[in-house]
Amino acid sequence: MIRVLLADDQALVRAGFRALLDAQPDIEVAGEAADGAEAVAQVRELRPDVALMDIRMPVLDGLAATRRITDDQGLDAVKVVMLTTFELDEYVFEAIRSGASGFLVKDTEPDELLRAVRAVVAGDALLSPGVTRRLIAEFAARSKAPADVVGLGELTEREREVMALVGIGLSNEEIARRLVVSPLTAKTHVSRTMVKLGARDRAQLVVLAYESGLVRPGWLG
pTM above 0.85, yes or no: no
**pLDDT tens sequence across 192-213:** 999 999 887 887 888 788 778 7
Q: Which long-range contacts (CB under 8 A, 24 or more apart) does 181-187 make?
A: 186/162
Q: Is the pLDDT of residue 2 over 70?
A: yes
pLDDT for the residue numbered 136: 62
The β-bridge relationship of strands 50-54 and 27-33 is: unpaired
Task: Measure the CA–CA gap between 11 and 174, rounded to whole angstroms.
Answer: 40
Spatial distance between the Cα atoms of 101 and 121, rounded to a whole number of angstroms: 10
* CA dist list (Å): 187 to 85, 175, 195, 202: 31, 9, 12, 11
Residue 152, classed as helix, strand or coil, is helix
Q: Please report the pLDDT score of residue 221 as a whole number.
A: 41
Who has greater pLDDT, 208 or 30?
A: 30
Is residue 219's pLDDT more than 50? no
| pLDDT one-digit tens code per residue, 86-112 | 665 567 777 777 788 887 878 888 888
**Looking at this protein, which amino acid is placed at residue 87?**
E
Write out pLDDT tens, residues 116-155: 899 888 876 666 555 666 666 666 566 565 667 778 889 9
**Alpha-carbon distance 168 to 135, whole Å?**
10
The per-residue pLDDT for range 38-64, each reduced to its tens digit, is: 999 999 999 999 999 998 899 999 999
End-to-end CA distance of the chain: 41
Q: Kindly indicate the confidence band of residue 188, based on its pLDDT and cuts at 50, 70 and 90.
A: very high
Cα–Cα separations (whole angstroms), residue 141 to 38, 51, 135, 217: 34, 30, 10, 9
